Amino acid sequence: MTDDVNVSGSLRNRLALILTGGAAVLAAILFVVVRALATQVAQQGQDNILNASMSSILDTAIIRDGRVTLDFPYSSLSMLGTSADDRVFYAIYENDSLLSGYGDLRTPDTTSHDHNQFTNSTYNGDPIRIATGARILIGSDGPRTVSVSIAQTQDALSDTLNIISRNVALIGLGFFVLSSALALWAASATSGQLHRLTRSVTRRGPQDLSPVTKEVPSEMGPLVGSLNTFMSRLNHTLTQSEDFIAEAAHRIRTPLATVRSHAEATLQRVEHSENRAALQSMVRAIDESSRAAGQLLDHAMVTFRAENLETEDVDLVELLRELVQRMTPVADMKDITITLNADGPVVLSGDAILLQNALRNLIDNALKYAPAETAVVINVSATPEISVSVMDGGSGFATDEITTLSGRFVRGKDTGNKVGSGLGLTIAKEVTTAHGGTMSLQNRSEGGACVTLHF
């Protein structure tokens, strides 16, 4: 069914892709945010220890005998010990003069006396964190500024961040996998509503144009509303079409029959040969018009009802018996007998009006092409399948045309001056196809044509 629909992508796949992509973005954001917070917390912990170490050294600074001295406490460095054996560097300055430590350790150019400073730098190619503080000592010769810088490599911090990053990555991956599974479930559940609506409409019979009353999500309300409106309009249009066809059949056939009867009556009273020939031509034209109009209307009816089959149990034998009884006067006029062979009722679930149209056209064709003083035989069988065969004693079908004669407006080469529109076999075939059957044409071995409908 979707072969005739312009389909572009899948709503389910699109929804799943959007939700999965959103989950991937959220997982990436989660990783970045958590790692940034972990870095901030870990860095704050290292800064606190550096600050404590730097302050403990700076607190021991005094002026003794006119010189700045410091009692370097052991705990000031031992508190910086880590599992990664980070290296520690320090530098102590009195104003701009190095008192102790690493002279090549780069410290901040300016030192605030009120706040300690923490900076990142490198030392011997290794990243380090530096804490710098200053203290002003008042001596006899005036104030002296003592600054202390404590630096520590960041191996332990990096290890901690790597562990945190790995754990956060695993958490993010788990979040992504879980979110993707939920996204697929959500996409399937959402598209499932559409599938259920599609199945509900597809399972309907061709004549079921009632509105959809099944509960649907609010987002699908406009779609279902439009579908119900469309089916209501279609049902109204089909009803109007059926009424029009029935009315047209009545309005066309009745005047033509009236004209033909008047022409026949006039023909019986006219003796002049030229007038009789003219009236005979008129009667023939009326017959052709009546037959063509009738078969066109029959075909229109078949086309309409084939899409809206009104099935019921139809006894084909009883239906054919009525047709034979109705068409016997026509057959008698041609000295043709109609024989119906059936062992008993043969019931078929189908549209009685269509089946009657199909069988009437087959019998009418057989009567038209059968020579006088022959028989039209109708066989009805229920085994091994339901079938109806209509046979005549005419010249049969041309073998090179037998596969094309059921086409619309197709007439055989040997029809002579027979009145016809080329729709009789078309109607029979389309009715049979609408009932799931097939129609076959063949010539009888003893002469004549045989048309069989297989159901």
- Work out the pLDDT band at 322, boundaries 50, 70, 90: very high
Whether residue 254 is contained in a domain is answered as: yes
Determine the pLDDT at residue 75: 82
DSSP state of 2: G
What range does the domain containing 257 cover?
A: 209-308
pLDDT in tens, 407-448: 877 777 766 666 666 788 898 999 999 888 999 999 988 888
Among 308, 323, 356, the domain boundary falls at 308
pLDDT in tens, 330-364: 888 888 999 999 888 999 999 898 899 899 999 98
Whether residue 7 is contained in a domain is answered as: no
Helix (H, G, I), strand (E, B) or coil at 284: helix
How many domains are there within the chain?
3
Among 145, 162, 179, the domain boundary falls at 162
Whether residue 19 is found in the same domain as residue 148: yes
Whether residue 296 is contained in a domain is answered as: yes
Q: Is the pLDDT of residue 1 over 60?
A: no
Could you tell me which of 318, 436, 332, 434 has the C-alpha nearest to residue 378?
318
Whether residue 284 is found in the same domain as residue 221: yes
Determine the pLDDT at residue 389: 94
Q: Looking at 158-248, which runs of residues are DSSP E strands?
A: none
Whether residue 81 is found in the same domain as residue 216: no
* Helix (H) and strand (E) counts in the chain: 8, 14
Tokens of 419: 């009145």
Whether residue 157 is found in the same domain as residue 18: yes
- What would the mean pLDDT of 292-315 be, rounded to a whole number? 79
Placement of tokens 């031509």 in the chain? 281
Whether residue 220 is found in the same domain as residue 315: no
CATH code, domain carrying 103: 3.30.450
Strand 337-341 versus strand 375-381 pairing type: parallel
Determine the pLDDT at residue 348: 92
Among 162, 188, 217, the domain boundary falls at 162
DSSP state of 3: G
Whether residue 170 is contained in a domain is answered as: no
Question: CA-to-CA distance for 194 and 12, rounded, in angstroms?
Answer: 10
Give the residue with greater pLDDT, 18 vs 141. Answer: 18
Whether residue 363 is found in the same domain as residue 294: no
Determine the pLDDT at residue 379: 93
Tokens of 15: 């929804």
Whether residue 174 is contained in a domain is answered as: no
Give the residue with greater pLDDT, 47 vs 410. Answer: 47
Whether residue 202 is contained in a domain is answered as: no
Whether residue 281 is found in the same domain as residue 412: no
Whether residue 237 is found in the same domain as residue 158: no
Q: How many CB atoms lie within 10 A of CB 197?
A: 18
pLDDT in tens, 233-246: 888 887 887 777 77
Whether residue 214 is contained in a domain is answered as: yes
Whether residue 219 is found in the same domain as residue 338: no
Whether residue 121 is found in the same domain as residue 146: yes
Q: Is 409 left (phi over 0), alpha (psi -120 to 50) or beta?
A: left
375 strand-pairing partners: 337
Placement of tokens 């150019």 in the chain? 109
Question: CA-to-CA distance for 38 and 40, rounded, in angstroms?
Answer: 5
Q: Is the pLDDT of residue 256 over 90?
A: no
Q: Is the pLDDT of residue 305 over 60?
A: yes
Determine the pLDDT at residue 362: 92
- What would the mean pLDDT of 298-321 be, rounded to a whole number? 83
Determine the pLDDT at residue 98: 87
- Work out the pLDDT band at 113, boundaries 50, 70, 90: low
Determine the pLDDT at residue 4: 66
Q: What is the mean pLDDT of the chain?
A: 84
Whether residue 326 is found in the same domain as residue 257: no
Determine the pLDDT at residue 155: 86
pLDDT above 70 covers a percentage of the chain that reads 94
Whether residue 196 is contained in a domain is answered as: no
Could you tell me which of 332, 331, 443, 321 has the C-alpha nearest to residue 391?
443
Whether residue 22 is found in the same domain as residue 157: yes
Strand 88-94 versus strand 97-101 pairing type: antiparallel
